Amino acid sequence: MTSCKLCGGPAAYFIEHSRIMLCQACFIKYYEKKVYNTIMKHGMLRGARKVAVAVSGGKDSMALLKVVSKLISEKFPEVELIAIHINLGIEGYSGECQEIVEKVCGKLGVDYIIHDLSSMEGYRISDLRSTPLRKRICGACGTVKRYMMNRLAYELGADRVATGHNLDDVVELLFEFYLKGSIENLVRVRPISRSDNPKLITKIKPLIELTEKENLYYALARGIPILDASCPLVEGSRMLRRKKLIGLIEHEISGFKHTLYKSHVKRILPRLEKVVAEPMLVECEVCGMPSLSSVCSYCRLISRLARSAESSS
C-alpha cells in the first residue's frame, strides 16, 4: 500500500505535478492552504465586503464554494458571502445543475440566488442552436455568463465575483491567445482583475493554481455533491481539443501547465501591462453596463438572437 508523503498513512490522492501521494486528511490541508495562499498572495479579499461566488453545479465551482465559505468563516469573518447560479435552460442538464447548487448551498448554509434565463430574460442558451451563433455557442454562452454574473453581483452590492477557473482553464486560454498573438486578451489573463468602475465588479480566481483533478479530489474528499455530466453543447468544441493537446504535452513534460502559467504571471504579464493600455470603458447605450463600445457584446448578442427569432417566425 502506498503511504502518504506527509503523515505516512494510507495514501488516497496522487498529485501529478509534484509526484506525491497524500491521504485524504493531508490532501484537504494541502488544498485549503494552497487556496488561502493564492488569495493572500494576490490580495484577492483585501478590502472586500461582499463576495459573490459563481456556481454552476460542477466540480470546480462546488469545490470553490466549499473552500471559500470555510476560509471566509475562519480567516475573513467580516466578509459576506453569497452564491449566484444562472439556470441556462439547457434541457436535461440545467435542472440538475440547479438542484446540485441548491443542495450544496443548503448544506453549507450559504445564501444564494437563482437567475433563470428563460423566466427572467426570455431566452435559453439552447435557443442559440437555431441561430448563426450555434457555430460558436460556447463563446456566446461565455458572453452571457460573464455579463449576468457581473450584473447580478452589482445589483447585490458585491465587490468581488469569485469564479472556479482552474489551472487547466487558464492554460488553455493562454495556449489559444499565444497561438493567435492576441496581446489584448493575454494581458487580461490574471488571478485578479481589479476594477475601479462601480458597475464592473473585481473578478478573482482563487483556484487558478489548482488543476481540474485536484478540484475533483477536494469535492470528493469533502463529500460535496457534484454534477457528473458535461454540458451537452460543449461536445466537439475547440476548447476541449486544446485541453486534450495540453494534456498530451503535460504527459511528456511534467509540470508544463504550472510552468506556462507561472511564466505568464511572473515574467510576461508584468511586461505586457507596461505596453498594453487599459481599454476605455463607456456605458452601453442599451443596458447601461460598462462596455468597450457604444453597445456591449451581450446586448449585440441578444439583438442577433431576437432577429433570428423574428426571421424564423
DSSP string, 280-305: PPEE-TTT-SEESSSS-HHHHHHHHH
Using alpha carbons, select from 141, 28, 149 the residue that is nearest to residue 82.
149
Assign 250 to helix, strand or coil: helix
Q: Which of 181-185, 186-190, 309-313 has the lowest mean pLDDT?
A: 309-313
- For residues 126 and 231, the answer to whether their CB atoms sit within 8 Å is no
pLDDT of residue 212 exceeding 90, the answer is yes
Quote the mean pLDDT of the chain. 93
- For residues 140 and 40, the answer to whether their CB atoms sit within 8 Å is no
Q: Which of 125-134, 148-157, 210-219 has the lowest mean pLDDT?
A: 125-134
Output the pLDDT for position 84: 98
The three cell numbers of residue 188 are 487580461
The three cell numbers of residue 247 are 494534456
d(CA 115, CA 4): 43
Mean of the pLDDT values across residues 14-37? 96
Residue type, 205: K
pLDDT of residue 109 exceeding 80, the answer is yes
Output the pLDDT for position 236: 67
CATH 3.40.50.620 at 31-277, yes or no: yes
pLDDT of residue 300 exceeding 80, the answer is yes
Question: Could you tell me where the beta strands, DSSP code E, fall in 100-174?
Answer: 111-116, 160-162
DSSP states along 114-149: EEEHHHHHS--GGGGGGSGGGGGHHHHHHHHHHHHH
Residue 291 backbone dihedrals phi, psi, to 5 degrees: -150, 155
Output the pLDDT for position 131: 74
Assign 115 to helix, strand or coil: strand
Question: Could you tell me where the beta strands, DSSP code E, fall in the chain?
Answer: 13-15, 20-22, 50-54, 80-87, 111-116, 160-162, 192-193, 202-204, 282-283, 290-291
Sign of the four-CA dihedral 244, 19, 228, 169: negative
Task: Please report, rounded to a whole number, the percentage of residues in the chain having pLDDT higher than 90.
Answer: 83
d(CA 286, CA 300): 9
Question: Which residues, in sequence order, are bridge partners of residue 204?
Answer: 162, 192
pLDDT in tens, 191-211: 999 999 999 999 999 999 999
d(CA 227, CA 94): 10
Assign 162 to helix, strand or coil: strand
Residue type, 53: V
Q: How far apart are the first and last CA of the chain?
A: 65
Task: Mention every residue, 6+ apart, whose C-beta is less than 8 A from residue 72.
Answer: 45, 51, 79, 81
pLDDT of residue 305 exceeding 90, the answer is no
pLDDT in tens, 81-104: 999 999 999 998 999 999 999 999
Block residue for cell numbers 452571457: 144
Task: Mention every residue, 6+ apart, whose C-beta is less than 8 A from residue 87.
Answer: 94, 95, 97, 98, 114, 115, 116, 117, 118
- For residues 28 and 223, the answer to whether their CB atoms sit within 8 Å is no
Q: Are strands 20-22 and 50-54 parallel, antiparallel or unpaired?
A: unpaired
Block residue for cell numbers 475547440: 238
